[in-house]
């Protein structure tokens, strides 16, 4: 196996430690919503988007309409448009087919780890293989652990609070990536707006995922504004 692919697989280990509880939670939620093990597996393997899957399963369990379920899943995943636009310049040398299957593996974690690796100019890796090392490893564990969670079902006690591990994974990726003042301002602004927007979603019944989009936009605006002020 190529060393660059192996490097991506090794770097995914820290992510997987937090991703496993998330996958277990989804498997349990899918079982509770009445999905079969085949439906649950196909959803994880085909959609491969943890937050969107969890929200979708909750809506299925609540007997929501098909249109609401589909639209909500799309809204939750709209942030992938930003990720795609950001990482696309690193793959311009590849053909459309290659970029198409690379897009399949695009997740929060794969994006964050890949961008951080590409910024490390001291290392010269094959960007595609490193990206695939991350993506394939995370995909494999995600699907397998989803099945485990479904099989275990309600056997996992709620006292374990598996959902607590999810934000820890994102913090572990985010904190090392903050290197200058604009990034600090962007992180703080998005955090404050995310909390306020999450409250608004819960209080006023806004579509799930809107808080993520609003917080991301606020963080970007704050970071760009700070960078501009410092430049002047």
Q: Which of 51-60, 98-107, 198-207 has the highest mean pLDDT?
A: 98-107
> Which one is predicted more confidently, 173 or 147?
147
Residue among 5, 15, 24 nearest 157 (CA):
24
What are the boundaries of each domain within the chain?
3-159, 178-232
Torsion angle (degrees, nearest 10) of CA 207, 55, 218, 205: 30
CA 38, 39, 43, 44 torsion: positive or negative? negative
What is the pLDDT at residue 155? 66
- 169's enclosing H/E stretch is helix 165-177
pLDDT in tens, 82-110: 889 889 888 888 888 888 889 999 988 89
Total Cβ atoms within 10 A of residue 229: 11
> Which one is predicted more confidently, 230 or 161?
230
Q: What token pair was written down for 188?
A: 């703080």
Tokens 């369990």 -> residue: 61
95 φ/ψ angles, rounded to the nearest 5 degrees: -75, 175
pLDDT in tens, 122-144: 567 788 899 999 999 999 999 99
Q: What is the spatial distance between Cα 77 and Cα 87, in angstroms, rounded to a whole number?
A: 16
Whether the CB-CB separation of 118 and 177 falls below 8 Å is answered with no
């Amino acid at each position: 196996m190529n060393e660059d692919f192996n490097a991506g697989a090794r770097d995914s280990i820290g992510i997987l430690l937090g991703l496993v509880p998330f996958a277990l939670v989804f498997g349990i939620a899918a079982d509770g919503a009445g999905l079969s093990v085949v439906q649950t597996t196909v959803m994880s393997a085909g959609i491969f988007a943890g937050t969107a899957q969890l929200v979708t399963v909750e809506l299925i369990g609540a007997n929501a309409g098909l249109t609401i379920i589909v639209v909500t899943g799309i809204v939750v995943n709209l942030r992938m448009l930003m990720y795609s636009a950001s990482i696309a310049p690193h793959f311009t040398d590849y053909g459309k087919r290659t970029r198409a299957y690379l897009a399949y593996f695009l997740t929060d974690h794969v994006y964050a780890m890949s961008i951080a690796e590409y910024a490390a100019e001291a290392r010269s890796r094959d960007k595609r293989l490193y990206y695939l090392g991350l993506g394939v490893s995370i995909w494999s564990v995600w699907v397998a652990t989803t099945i485990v969670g479904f099989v275990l079902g309600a056997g996992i006690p709620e006292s374990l609070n598996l959902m607590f591990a999810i934000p820890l994974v994102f913090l572990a990726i985010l904190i090392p990536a903050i290197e200058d003042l604009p990034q600090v301002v962007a992180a703080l602004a998005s955090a404050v707006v995310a909390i306020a927007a999450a409250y608004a979603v819960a209080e006023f019944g806004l579509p799930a995922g809107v808080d993520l989009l609003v917080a991301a936009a606020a963080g970007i605006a704050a970071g760009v504004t700070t960078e501009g002020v410092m430049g002047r």
